[in-house]
Chain A
């Protein structure tokens, strides 16, 4: 046991330091008695005092008798139900990743990975089923189409674009819209070898039309703000001497 009291070097007075488990945020304790606890089996109601009639002329006729205590007391304390964090309310209520506070519809995001890394894009909405973010370049500005992106691969900037004009248009986009098309697979491996290489599938005209529809609504909003179009077409990059941990996005 390491003594956690610190002695003042000058006076010799000692002060108790609170243990790491109380101060260090790493040892966050979750409220054990609340949501995460498995429901206790309902205890049967303890019988209350019983009124018994007794015979004999001089015994008062009735007596209130307290029930006898249990015959068996466990040697150890009653075990508390184990706290299961994954069953706690904050985890089971929504199955989809919680959207960071810095990401709201219209926020300009910086993509950190993938084909469009470094591009600044406009966030439209979070898709319901997968929790991925729906973003668009807009395509005209920086070549990023309507696309899904994971929150973890994105830096949210403080620049916002007004996307209220899109309103109900976004409802058409969900995870099924972006689902990969199942290609006709040839079962025989030999057959595949002799087939000519499949031509690159042309872009679905529906996608092109949807892209145009969304972008045509966004472009006037972007054009009104000074330098926003140039900002969105420029790529984010780090250069020498820049400290990311000090940057304000």
Chain B
């Protein structure tokens, strides 16, 4: 959640998402697909808006790269998962296991409205 430096206005143009884990059955998991729970999305019918939206998993590292210690793994919402609004996502690089339970930003682009 950012705040505009000059005016102090809140600017959040992304939805909050939680990383639930990888697509999996009981004892096998598919690491290239993660499951994301988007805040406020509790039905499969509501997921249609978010399909295709870009996802950003942001994490910090010790070494500065390109002037910042923050790093991103970009991904996309692929399809719904189940009936309760959970969503499957694929990232450019698979999400690291320590991200489970962590925050992912669901951007509002590419926009279709």
Contact = CB atoms under 8 A, between A and B. Distances in A.
Interface residues of A, number: 25
B11 A235 contact: yes
A112 B13 contact: yes
Main secondary structure of the interface of B (DSSP, over half): loop
Given A241-B40, A245-B49, A112 B109 contact: yes
A155 B108 contact: yes
Contacts of B15: 238, 244
B2 to A, nearest CB: 9
A113 B11 contact: no
Interface string B1-33: 000100001111111000000000000000000
Given A117-B11, A237-B9, A245 B50 contact: yes
Interface of B: 4, 9-15, 40-41, 46-50, 107-113
B110 A238 contact: no
B113 A102 contact: yes
9 contacts: A100-B113, A113-B13, A156-B113, A235-B4, A237-B10, A237-B12, A243-B40, A244-B15, A245-B40
Contact of B11 (A102, A152, A237, A249): A237
A235 B109 contact: no
